[in-house]
Amino acid sequence: MNTWRVGSVRVTRIEEQLGVGGFSPENFLLGFDREVFRKLLPVFPNHYSAEKDRLVSSMHSWLLRVGGKRILIDACCGNHKERPWMPRFHQLNTRFMENLRDAGAAPEDIDIVMCTHLHSDHVGWNTRLENGRWVPTFPNARYVYSDKEDAAFNPARAAGLDPNRAIVYNDSVLPVVQAGQAQVLSDGIHELAAGLVVEPSPGHTPGHVALKLEDGGQRGLFCGDALHHAVQVFRPDWNSAFCMDPDQARITRRSLLSHCADQNALLFPAHFAAPYVAAIHREGEGFGLRFVPATAP
């Protein structure tokens, strides 16, 4: 069971990997409070390994069929990518493409790949290795991301960029640019398909975007890495260690959670563990959640 519905739109989770991360909870979530976490853990028992004392997270893409188009939101880590600084992303050989085929989509069927941001675990499957070269995985897709994000992670534009970020850009973004398949969005709101809107959601990265879906009176929100872990619903001020602008990340997180609570929008995060998708309500100073299991294969 890996498909949810928002109105008539089917949203399918395409798994790349599910497991523990490499950081202790304190090192991954800044402000982490063990006592608070222990009390909340019964709400999201699959999101923590007590044995390893690590948060559990998922790497997955969301496959949507909107207005006759097949759209992939985020592109995980990819196979064979050289990421020695991040063992969980390094030289992978996962079944992601088989999982995508099992969901009914061949690579040539994908019309749009939407990268919420350009971190390595969101652009990996943009490209695949062919005869020693990185080529677009999805030959008929346009690859969409924001110009602000490009300015932050394109080594030709970002002075002093971390060399590891440049490696990611060069093997996972530049090849789709060179193939003429990149579509870079100006800052602002854009309709990607009927009822599917891209909005700036900065903080985790400068050009991070979220997607709001509305169909048949129902709503969904794809929040990328504005949230990483379910505990951040209850404690929206706890940032990940990778949020580049901490104050803005908190503002954006609260804003997106408010949208979900006020508009009854299902939250589709990029990294929550099972059951992956949640309905959000206001609770205390933050928010609460009710997980919504998948309804179809």
Residues that bind Zn ion (CB under 5 A): 121, 225
Nearest to Zn ion of 120, 154 (CB atom): 120
Nearest to Zn ion of 194, 241 (CB atom): 241
HSE of 146, CA atoms in CB hemisphere, 13 A: 23
> Whole-number minimum distance, CB 122 to Zn ion, in Å?
6
Nearest to Zn ion of 59, 141 (CB atom): 59
10 - beta bridge partners?
5
Nearest to Zn ion of 121, 171 (CB atom): 121
> Whole-number minimum distance, CB 59 to Zn ion, in Å?
8
Nearest to Zn ion of 213, 243 (CB atom): 243
How far apart CA 269 and CA 275 sit, in angstroms, is: 11
Biggest CA pair distance of the chain: 55
> Whole-number minimum distance, CB 8 to Zn ion, in Å?
29
> Whole-number minimum distance, CB 23 to Zn ion, in Å?
13
**HEC string of the chain?**
CCEEEECCEEEEEEEEEEEECCCCHHHHEECCCHHHHHHHHHHCHHHEECCCCEEEEEEEEEEEEECCEEEEECCCCCCCCCCCCCHHHCCCCCCHHHHHHHCCCCHHHCCEEECCCCCHHHHHHHEEEECCEEEECCCCCEEEEEHHHHHHHCCCCCCCCCHHHHHHHHHHCHHHHHCCCEEEECCCCEEEECCEEEEECCCCCCCCEEEEEEECCEEEEECHHHCCCCHHHHCCCCEECCCCCHHHHHHHHHHHHHHHHHHCEEEECCCCCCCCCEEEEEECCEEEEEECCCCEC
Nearest to Zn ion of 30, 36 (CB atom): 30
> Whole-number minimum distance, CB 88 to Zn ion, in Å?
11
> Whole-number minimum distance, CB 121 to Zn ion, in Å?
4
> Whole-number minimum distance, CB 34 to Zn ion, in Å?
24
Nearest to Zn ion of 111, 121 (CB atom): 121
Nearest to Zn ion of 66, 226 (CB atom): 226
With beta carbons less than 8 A apart as the criterion, state whether 233 and 289 touch. yes
> Whole-number minimum distance, CB 180 to Zn ion, in Å?
27
